[in-house]
Structure 1
Amino acid sequence: MEMVWLYVVLIPVQHILAVTWLYLAKQSSLRGALQDPGGCKGLTGLVEEQIRICQRQLEAMDAVKHGAELAVEECQHQFHSRRWNCSTLQGLQVFGKVTIQGTRESAFIHAISAAGIAFAVTRACSRGELEKCGCDRKIRGVSPEGFQWSGCSDNLSYGIAFSQAFVDNPERSRGISSSRALMNLHNNEAGRKVGDVLKEKFEGATEVHSKWVGSRKLLVPKSSRFKPYTAHDLVYLLASPDFCDQDPQHGVFGTSGRQCNRTSPAMDGCELLCCGRGFHTAQAEVVERCSCKFRWCCSVKCKQCRHLVEVHSCR
């Protein structure tokens, strides 16, 4: 009797759950959901400790949802013209399999997500929307004339602490033996430190591998030619695919059908974005406001002008 061997690739559940809390960005409203009997337990994408944080700080969950929305929007804004453009899916894993593969794209997602939560919770504190925190009054000074002053500054320390507790928990539950957890925790913290320059950090991310140093598992640069990374830098474990062709197994959509710029030499140009496959050209009608006139008082009256433009899309 012929034996048939079946090989099954198992992905640890923790890897799948790493940033599923981003699914909150797709929910229309949390206020209604949190008033249901299930409450926090009914929110899709949260792990057990995140549910407990939700139960302890219900008032903060709108800020968490807003932070998730900011992360998705900023990712898509920064990468809209690249082969990987932060496309989102309907499922629990908002960005698809890209988030669990240990690449620099995964590094960016973790960093921008942690930064989004820290920012949103910090702003909610300063606006008086959260009972457990308020603005930071520790910043004080003395003017040249000798007057002492103090202000109501953004409570960044509370926002960062909340982000660490909420965002890092799925990673910390894996323990120090997971290289992916070490990578994600490092990138989470880097995002909280340098949220405004993450795109530049993406370009200069360091490829690393795990190494036991005594009783600790550390991430070290994969090559001695790589510069040592700092707490502000992103790190990744695996090289990225080229994202040119559709590859469902790895969650790659490919660039076929994407619009490109025929005259641009950059990544949004047809040559690079289409990966040398060429592109189609078609004409599309564009409707724009034109011949606008100001009317006293106080309105602007415009006409609608229609004209044809060339649209290029990857083969």
Structure 2
Amino acid sequence: EDCQFLVGFTKEQQQICGRSLELMNYVLEGVVESIQACRAEFEGERWNCSGGLESVNSGGRVVEAGTRETAFLYAILSAGVTHKVTKACSSGRLKNCGCDRTLTGQEEWSGCSDNVAYGKAFARSLIDVREELVGMSHPSRALLNLHNNNAGRKTVELSMRTHCRCHGVSGACEMKTCWKTLPPFDDVSKRLKINYDNSKMVKLKKAGSQMDFAPQQQQPHSFNETDLLFTHASPSYCDLDLSRGSLGTSGRLCSNDKTATTDSCKVLCCGRGYVVVGEVTLVEKCHCKFHWCCRVECQECKRRVELYRCK
């Protein structure tokens, strides 16, 4: 009963949930965080995470398409669950996991390092089992999704930061204690967006009895663990095409600022033009002054802006 929120999950995933009930609220929070981060990263682009993570477990077209958007969705979902479970481990509220006590080195590792190894392992067990089952009938698609799942988890791991504190007389650093911690998930999603912008198109080939990746023409052969890989070109996302997961950009708000890039009316409206839909008043901080130490005082400025919408 406690696992009923896992709509569309496999029997194996439901069983993992039943064995790990104390973690499942964090899994749900990780999925929600992933959805929010995806929308934030693509807010002003033609594809704005529409038909995205809400559809991962209900046959959504974007997650079946094998495009760079598909790669991003799988990676950020895996990253979101990894990040939330990792942070939950170091919260002290869980029975089956806690701080990472394996760190050693010249520094005196102390404090509570985030247990990213546990977070990765749990996310892998919960998320990858679906692709392993899919692999029986669709091995090439499963291989691609498993790679992008792992890319999301690896990106979380590589985002770990080391924090140290000095101890000694009068602030001398006679002894140092250090620990590792994850940054806010926004930092992880920004890394994944960079990986999306640099994602690599591949084809799948047979290597003996196994499937493997091969580069498309005129691309370097090597792929690392954090590269996002895709097999099919993306649609333009300009027009409504539900068969390819495109909701189109008609009706989307756009910017008429000539310095705008992705959310400019010129780009977002795909040449169809746009209409003025009204004016709004924006209230912004302005004329800020910094007072030592440590206060910032700002005035409030109002300005009227026109709203534009794609035809």
Give the TM-score band, short-chain normalised: 0.7 to 0.9
> What is the deviation of 1:81?
0.7
For 2:209, the aligned partner's letter is S
Q: Residues 188, 43 of structure 1: CA spacing in aligned structure 2 closer, same or farther, 3 A cutoff?
A: closer
What is the aligned length? 265
| 1:202 matched residue in structure 2 | 196
> What is the deviation of 1:94?
7.3
Alignment partner of 1:160 out of 115, 120, 123:
120
1:116-195 equivalence runs, <5 A: 116-142=80-106, 148-175=108-135, 178-195=139-156
| 2:246 matched residue in structure 1 | 252
Residues 82-127 of structure 1: CA deviation (Å, up to 9, x unaligned): 0000125897557941111111100000000000000000000000
Residues 176-197 of structure 1: CA deviation (Å, up to 9, x unaligned): 6521111100000011112421
Q: Residues 265, 137 of structure 1: CA spacing in aligned structure 2 closer, same or farther, 3 A cutoff?
A: same
Q: Residues 65, 272 of structure 1: CA spacing in aligned structure 2 closer, same or farther, 3 A cutoff?
A: same
Q: 1:246 & 1:129 partners in 2: Cα distance?
A: 46
For 2:28, the aligned partner's letter is K
Structure 2 SS opposite 1:164: helix
> What is the deviation of 1:257?
1.1
Q: Residues 42, 70 of structure 1: CA spacing in aligned structure 2 closer, same or farther, 3 A cutoff?
A: closer
Q: Decide whether the 8 Å contact of 1:111 with 1:188 is kept in 2.
A: yes
Tell me, yes or no, if structure 1 residue 237 matches structure 2 residue 198.
no
Q: 2:308 & 2:146 partners in 1: Cα distance?
A: 40
Q: 2:57 & 2:308 partners in 1: Cα distance?
A: 28
> What is the deviation of 1:273?
0.9
Structure 1 SS opposite 2:3: helix
TM-score (norm. length: structure 1): 0.77
TM-score (norm. length: structure 2): 0.77
For 2:212, the aligned partner's letter is L
| 1:217 matched residue in structure 2 | 211
> What is the deviation of 1:309?
2.1
Q: Residues 205, 152 of structure 1: CA spacing in aligned structure 2 closer, same or farther, 3 A cutoff?
A: same
For 1:284, the aligned partner's letter is E
Q: Residues 93, 194 of structure 1: CA spacing in aligned structure 2 closer, same or farther, 3 A cutoff?
A: closer
For 2:234, the aligned partner's letter is S
For 1:314, the aligned partner's letter is C
Q: Residues 60, 308 of structure 1: CA spacing in aligned structure 2 closer, same or farther, 3 A cutoff?
A: same
Unpaired segments ≥5 residues, structure 2: 157-187, 287-297
Alignment partner of 1:264 out of 259, 271, 281:
259
Q: Decide whether the 8 Å contact of 1:264 with 1:270 is kept in 2.
A: no
What's the RMSD between the two structures over aligned residues?
A: 2.7
Alignment partner of 1:114 out of 55, 78, 85:
78
| 1:105 matched residue in structure 2 | 69
More strand by share: 2
Q: Decide whether the 8 Å contact of 1:59 with 1:129 is kept in 2.
A: no
| 2:276 matched residue in structure 1 | 281
Alignment partner of 1:83 out of 32, 36, 46:
46
> What is the deviation of 1:277?
1.3
Residues 207-245 of structure 1: CA deviation (Å, up to 9, x unaligned): 111111112111211224345321110100110000001
| 2:173 matched residue in structure 1 | none
Q: 1:201 & 1:155 partners in 2: Cα distance?
A: 24
Unpaired segments ≥5 residues, structure 1: 1-37, 292-301
Q: Residues 215, 290 of structure 1: CA spacing in aligned structure 2 closer, same or farther, 3 A cutoff?
A: closer
Q: 2:280 & 2:101 partners in 1: Cα distance?
A: 55
How many percent of aligned residue pairs carry the same amino acid? 41
